[in-house]
A and B are shown apart, each in its own frame.
Chain A
Amino acid sequence: MNVKVACALVCLLSGMASLARAQVPGPNNAITDVPGIKVGHFTGAPWTGTTVVLAENGGQGVAGGVSQRGGAPGTRETDLLKPENMVQIVNAVVLSGGSAYGLAAASGVMQCLETQHVGFPVGGGNVVPIVPAAILFDPGRCGAPFNYRPDFNFGLQACTAAKSGPVQQGNVGAGTGAVSGGVKGGIGTASVVLDDGIIVGAIVAVNSVGSTFDDDGNLHAAALELQGEFGNLLPVKGGPKPKNGPPAAVPGGLLKNTTIAVVATNVELTKAQATRIAHMADDGLARAIKPTHSPYDGDTVFALGTARIKMQSLGDPAFALYRIGSAAADVLSRAVVHAILEAESTACYQSYCDLTPNACSNGKKGAQK
């Protein structure tokens, strides 16, 4: 081996290493790795719950945006997020079960925040907390009464429980009753730290019509794994090539689903920029779940920027946005995988790992068993 070849190899390897360094999960591999983000779950009796994502910067809210592309949404305060509208901040985003009834949880979060004087100031020391929300369909799952659903109290409890640090995943909060493509869905979270200090995190409640894995049991987004976080999933058979049959016939004529998510970054964003991040992050759903954004999915993705890093410190803002949005999509895909791996079988729905033990046997879930 001559010197030139050796140098080229070293350069190539070091280049690859720096690329790899550019994609590491944060310490908790959770959306709470983004400074200013806290998460609280409230898990009701089976099978529903509420998850709240609190966002602050110096005691104020942060810029937010939304992408709402699923066909059967249930939402609050998404009009307010349009870039041309006045309010520039978001104090919390609520993800909840309960179908449209579950939108009531946001009222509890508003009260929780008002008592902490957190919100958009409207004079006289008064605030209106800005709390967009989206719901998923889980009422009546697995024999639960149809009228057991998140209400005001669920939001209040989730908000009170919100904290930084590790985030519980699986059958918890808004993912408690979630189902995905015939297996148990749930809550998942993930994060990535880019080499210049940009942090991007995601949290998702996966309750999709579509499946997160192919007919062989290989997860669609398995290739996005960082540092063995999926427990070195084994391809089940046939390798990583996706293989999908046509969508199954709709039992009873109506599928009741929805995947809802929040992505967050420590970069300072305008509302318009946050909206762009939400749209790019939404592609992470498309890569992890197939099909996505169907007529029966109210898929909605919120984006938040907690402004610890000034956008102007990152050079060309459009390119910074491009990198953050691209990272947000991958983080959201990985959070979807975490949700499926962490979900646990119930009396009505098998978990992915119980359905496909070969895939998980070498993995995190398998190792825990």
Chain B
Amino acid sequence: MTTSHVWAAVLFTLCVVSPSWAQAPGPLNAITDVPGIAVGHYTATSPSGGGSTGTTVVLSPGSGAVGAVTQRGGAPGTRETDLLKPEQLVEKVNAVVLSGGSAYGLAAADGVMLCLEGKGVGFPVGPSQVVPIVPSAILFDPGRCAPFTFRPDASFGMAACQAAKGGPVQQGNVGAGAGAISGGSTGSKGGLGTASVVMGNGIIVGAIVAVNSSGRTFDTAGNFYAGFLELGNEFDMVAPTAAGAEVGTDSTLLQNTTIAVVATNATLTKAQALKVAQMADDGLARAIKPSHGVGDGDTIFAMATGTGTPASNNTVNSIGSAAADTLSRAIVHAILAAKTLCNAKSYCEQFPQNCPQP
């Protein structure tokens, strides 16, 4: 082999191998791998019935992150999604709130606004006066082994905001995923999941999701629809088994919703962030079947923290693709981390061979 052949071989290897380098999770495998992004949960358990609900807040650093949303599920409950439209004045969001409680849970964002105002964080409207920009979406969990009136309020948002920090993010029955279920009575306990990826060009993409879907995330044999997107061995012991059957979900279960945030350290315009949110939404489709159903208020927010020159079209494309995969993986993490609660059996209780033994 001549020298030039060696170099050709090296180049070939680099070209083939680098895409896998370009797909490594961040150190925390969490949305907090995106610098400056902080996550706070507040979880409450009902003294009567043992059911849980809660609120998760994703804070963006400094003056905020350029924000966008895609809202494609059929039964949404949202706040401040109109201002995210690319043609509207305000460009940056200070926080996104994911919460249980159905539409009542939108009150949690009130608490997050007061929390941020207390820190002087928000859109400046006068001397030391701010209006925090806090879009929000909710999922349906009221009345699950708890009184129907057990739901997040402003105090949940305040507590989640005060608890927000960088570093590892707790998953499973926590925050907005505390009372979540997935796939109706034939499915599993839902929950909160997160994931990240570090792309070859130094761009980091993270996702956090509260999975409360009418659709399922795995077939009857326990194969995750998004299992093929695993990076490294992040899904731990999950091994493909003989293909299982797909099962329908209870059509009467119209009280669901999966809500998520994807974040990146790239610099995006609002319109580019919208494209990333739309592409990320496909990650929901790959991990949950069906998704965006009539009773799912599926809503995906995007946050871009960069402050440089807006990304090129190619980069937006790569970030959107990575965001979709990261969101799919976060969904698998949510289901793997969920614990049996009330009458919702966890995936790991149904398929213990695919999970570490407690």
Interface, chain A (partner B; CB < 8 A): 68, 71-80, 82, 84-87, 99-101, 103-104, 106-107, 110, 114, 122-124, 126, 128-131, 137, 139-140, 146-147, 151-152, 254, 256, 295-296, 298, 300
Interface residue B79 (Cβ < 8 Å from any Cβ of A): yes
Interface residue B143 (Cβ < 8 Å from any Cβ of A): yes
A100 engages B88 (CB within 8 Å): no
A100 vs B127: C-alpha distance in the bound complex, in angstroms? 18
Residues of A within 8 A of B77 (CB): 77, 80
List 4 additional A-B contacts (Cβ < 8 Å) besides A76-B78, A79-B78, A139-B125: A77-B77, A77-B103, A99-B131, A114-B104
Residues of A within 8 A of B103 (CB): 77, 110, 128-131
- The prevalent SS among residues of B at the interface is loop
B83 engages A76 (CB within 8 Å): no
Residues of A within 8 A of B87 (CB): 71
Interface, chain B (partner A; CB < 8 A): 71, 73-83, 85, 87-90, 102-104, 106-107, 109-110, 113, 117, 125-126, 129, 131-134, 140, 142-143, 148, 153-154, 254-255, 294-295, 297, 299
A86 vs B297: C-alpha distance in the bound complex, in angstroms? 9
Q: Quick one: given A110-B103, A130-B103, are A100 and B74 in contact (CB under 8 Å)?
A: no
Residues of A within 8 A of B82 (CB): 68, 73-75, 78, 298, 300
Number of A-B contacts (CB under 8 A): 124
Residues of B within 8 A of A152 (CB): 107, 110, 154
A367 vs B142: C-alpha distance in the bound complex, in angstroms? 56
B83 engages A103 (CB within 8 Å): no
Residues of B within 8 A of A78 (CB): 78, 81-82
Q: Could you pull out 27 A-B pairs where Cβ atoms are within 8 angstroms?
A: A68-B82, A72-B88, A72-B89, A73-B83, A75-B79, A78-B78, A78-B82, A84-B74, A85-B74, A99-B125, A99-B131, A101-B131, A103-B106, A103-B109, A107-B106, A107-B107, A107-B110, A122-B142, A122-B255, A124-B148, A128-B102, A129-B103, A139-B129, A140-B129, A146-B126, A152-B107, A295-B89
Interchain CB contact (< 8 A) of A77 among B78, B90, B143, B153: B78
Residues of B within 8 A of A298 (CB): 82-83
Closest 3 CB pairs of A and B: A107-B107, A73-B82, A79-B76
A85 engages B75 (CB within 8 Å): yes
B104 engages A101 (CB within 8 Å): no
Interchain CB contact (< 8 A) of B80 among A75, A104, A107: A75
Interchain CB contact (< 8 A) of A71 among B76, B88, B113: B88
For A103, the closest partner residue in chain B by CB is: B79
A76 engages B74 (CB within 8 Å): no
B294 engages A86 (CB within 8 Å): yes
A103 vs B103: C-alpha distance in the bound complex, in angstroms? 13
Q: Quick one: given A73-B82, A80-B75, A131-B103, are A126 and B125 in contact (CB under 8 Å)?
A: no
Interchain CB contact (< 8 A) of B83 among A72, A107, A126, A146: A72
A147 to chain B, nearest CB (A): 8
Residues of B within 8 A of A77 (CB): 77-79, 103, 106
A161 to chain B, nearest CB (A): 21
For B79, the closest partner residue in chain A by CB is: A76
A122 vs B126: C-alpha distance in the bound complex, in angstroms? 43
A76 vs B80: C-alpha distance in the bound complex, in angstroms? 6
A233 to chain B, nearest CB (A): 34
For B294, the closest partner residue in chain A by CB is: A86
B80 engages A100 (CB within 8 Å): yes
A103 vs B157: C-alpha distance in the bound complex, in angstroms? 14
Most buried by A among B103, B113, B132: B103
A155 to chain B, nearest CB (A): 11
A152 vs B107: C-alpha distance in the bound complex, in angstroms? 9
